[in-house]
Structure formats: C-alpha cells, structure tokens
C-alpha cells in the first residue's frame, strides 16, 4: 500500500465517522461534538460560576482578585490578577454558549486549580470571611470542565451549530 492509498483510507475512515473536512483539522477537532444533550448541564455548572465570579472580580471593588493572589503567595500578583479574571470571563462565556467549549474547559481547569490552591493556603480570606466561596465550587467547576473537554459541547451548543452533520 502506497502513501496515497493510505491517505485515501484515512479519508474514508474520517468520512465513515462523520467527520467533515473541518473535523480533520486541529481547529475543527476542538469544535467537534456529538448529538448528546446532557452536556448542557456540565457546561452551565462550570460556566455560570466562572462568568459570575469573573465579573464580580472585575466590577466589584471589594471582590478584587489581587488580594487573593497576593494572599495565596503567587508571584507577580499585579500581572496574574487581571489575566486570571479575563480567563474566568472568557472560559465562562465559552462554556455557557458552547462556543469553543473545549478551549473554555481547558482554560477553566488551571484557573480552578489555582482557586483550589488558594483555598488550601489562605487562612484568613482577604475579601472577608463572608466572601469565601465553598471548597466544593472549584472542584465542581473542574470536574464539569473536564467532562466538557472530554465529550465536547453537545447538541445544544454553538459548536454543534458550526458542524451540524456530526
């Protein structure tokens, strides 16, 4: 079997799986998703807290991210804080809309690992003890984001509308 026959066999396999031309590129594979509807729940469970907390960090002066980053001992708090807030907002929107949902999940996981680390390390919450979210929140967001990375955004998503034949 020569190289051209091998490439044709790969194309036939991709078409048999239902992958279009877009589905075979790296960019397309990030957006490929199935017909499943149940992934709406993990997308919302991960996306709503990310978006809500990110917007709170950006708009509410008492809920600034910088004191949390400094209290956790992360270096370059002035640089990391706005980047982390932007990542929370982008990941939350991505997951809620199901637009590049796998990328949103990949952004959410390290962000929530940082939040989990902050929960473990910080003794006295700098924004006040009433503003400390429960430890289960970053764990739930990480679990749901990981599921979206694994399964894709599902039928009720903009990723599915982008590639509806799958």
**97-152, pLDDT tens digit by residue?**
999 999 999 999 999 999 999 999 998 888 777 778 889 999 999 999 999 999 99
Residue 74 covered by a domain: yes
Across the range 45-60, mean pLDDT stands at 96
Residue 125 covered by a domain: yes
Residue 13 covered by a domain: no
pTM > 0.85: no
**Domain span at residue 78?**
31-162
Contact 70, 77 (CB under 8 A): yes
Residue 104 covered by a domain: yes
Residue 93 covered by a domain: yes
Cα(140)–Cα(111) distance, integer angstroms: 13
Cα(163)–Cα(29) distance, integer angstroms: 10
Domain count, the chain: 1
């Amino acid at each position: 079997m020569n190289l051209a026959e091998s490439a044709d066999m790969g194309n036939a396999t991709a078409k048999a799986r239902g992958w279009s031309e877009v589905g075979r590129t790296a960019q397309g594979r990030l957006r490929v998703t199935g017909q499943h509807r149940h992934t709406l729940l993990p997308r919302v469970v991960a996306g709503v807290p990310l978006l809500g907390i990110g917007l709170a960090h950006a708009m509410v002066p008492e809920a600034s991210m910088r004191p949390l980053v400094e209290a956790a001992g992360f270096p370059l708090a002035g640089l990391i804080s706005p980047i982390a807030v932007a990542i929370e907002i982008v990941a939350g929107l991505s997951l809620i809309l199901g637009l590049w949902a796998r990328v949103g999940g990949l952004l959410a996981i390290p962000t929530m690992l940082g939040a989990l680390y902050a929960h473990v390390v910080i003794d006295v919450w700098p924004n006040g003890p009433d503003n400390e979210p429960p430890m289960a929140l970053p764990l739930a967001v990480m679990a749901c984001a990981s599921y979206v990375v694994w399964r894709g955004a599902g039928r009720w998503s903009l990723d599915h509308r982008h590639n509806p034949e799958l």
